Structures are given as C-alpha cells and as structure tokens.
Amino acid sequence: MGVFVRAMCMPVMRQYKLVEEGKSVLPVYRHKSSGQEVAIHKVGRENTGKGVRYFFKTNRRKFDVSDISEWEPVIVRDYSKPEEMRKVVYDLGAKAFKSKDLNYYYVDELLAAVREGRSAKEQKGRFEDPNVELLERSGEDVLDQFGKPIEIEVGDYNEPKKKWIDGKPSTIKRRKMNYGYSEISNRRTE
C-alpha cells in the first residue's frame, strides 16, 4: 500500500524583477503567451471586494486578473532551484510538491541589509508566493478543459451564526483547489 507524500520546500530563495508601488515592492510577472510584463499586487481575501489580484502596468493603470496561471514571475537569480528539488523528491516517490517563498522578505532586501549592516525591512502586503507555478497537489487552482479556474459554492462559515438559515450559512463562490486529497480518498485498499 502506498503512502501519499507531499514534499514541502521552504524557503525558496529567488530574486525577482521588482518595481516599487507606493510603500510596497512588487514582483514583475510575464504573460506566458504574449510576453507582456506587469507588476502584481494581491489585496485581502479572494472573492470579497478586497481579495482581488491587481496587475500594475508601467503607467500604473491597474487591471484585474482572474487567472494567475497565465502568468509567471520574472526570475533574475535562483538560489534554491526548487524545480530541481521537486524532481529529486518525485524521483524518491513523492506525489505532491509545495514550495514557499521567503515570507515578508525579498532576497534583494536581505542581501542589501547584510551589505549595509542593518536589519532587513519586511514587505508585508507583498504578493505572498510568487512561485505558484511550482505547486502540484498543494493548493493550486483546479482548471477546466479551457484552462480556466473552476468555481464551486461552499458555506460561508465567516458569516455570524445568527444569520444562518435552517442551521446553515449562506453560500459563496470559491475556486476549487487541488490538495491531492482525491488521490488519497479514491485509493482502494486490499
């Protein structure tokens, strides 16, 4: 009987092409088909008015992007080579891979802080995980046959219970995520 294994690689240390947007430093993303480059900022939670991913063009005009899978971060230098790590753990039998960037820091800022003998400045509010293209069965969007994220209705458990009807919360739309659980649930044991 096999055991479902998800390997976690953290921290992934990669230098990204960055731009400054007000008080934030944002990574630059490139569209996989067109090659267009824009900076991205994520605000709040998904599917609330506050949870939208915004791309900023060079003239700072923002536009909403619903499908991050069409974009990839522009990497200047890769210190940890997560693609190679993923291959190693898959060769050892893992079925899923998760990677996480440096929370609240960019490598550029850490290197500058070391050079200048100071503490690194946190970048709270930055896009949490630019290396989403490496996820596999670890929380990435489930896509339909056209490559677009599938949405499902789930209970809104953040809603106060006094607003529930017949003991159930109202429903909200969320993107369907792949955590690999279907592979575990569908496996038959002999």
pLDDT tier for residue 144 given thresholds of 50, 70 and 90: confident
User: Does the pLDDT value for residue 139 go beyond 80?
Assistant: no
What pLDDT shows up at residue 190? 40
User: Does the pLDDT value for residue 173 go beyond 80?
Assistant: yes
Range scoring the smallest mean pLDDT among 63-67, 73-77, 113-117, 137-141: 63-67
Q: Specify which of 53-62, 120-129, 131-140, 167-176 reaches the highest per-range mean pLDDT.
A: 167-176
User: Does the pLDDT value for residue 103 go beyond 60?
Assistant: yes
pLDDT average, residue stretch 147-176: 85
Give DSSP secondary structure letters for 3-72.
---EEEEEEE-EEE-EEEETTEEEEEEEETTT--EEEEEE-SSTTSTT--EEEE-TT--EEE-S-GGGEE
> For the chain, give me the number of helices (H) and strands (E)?
3, 14
Calculate what percentage of the chain has a pLDDT beyond 70: 72
pLDDT average, residue stretch 138-166: 83
What pLDDT shows up at residue 130? 56
What pLDDT shows up at residue 133? 62
CA R_g for the chain: 19
Question: How confident is the model over 7-56, as pLDDT tens digits?
Answer: 888 888 888 888 877 767 778 888 888 888 887 766 544 444 444 455 66
Cα dist. 144→34, 38, 98, 114, 179 in Å?
21, 25, 22, 45, 16
User: Does the pLDDT value for residue 161 go beyond 90?
Assistant: no
What pLDDT shows up at residue 66? 56
Tell me if the pTM is above 0.75.
no
Q: Where are the domains of the chain?
A: 11-137
Average of per-residue pLDDT values in the chain: 77
**Terminal Cα distance for the chain, rounded:** 8
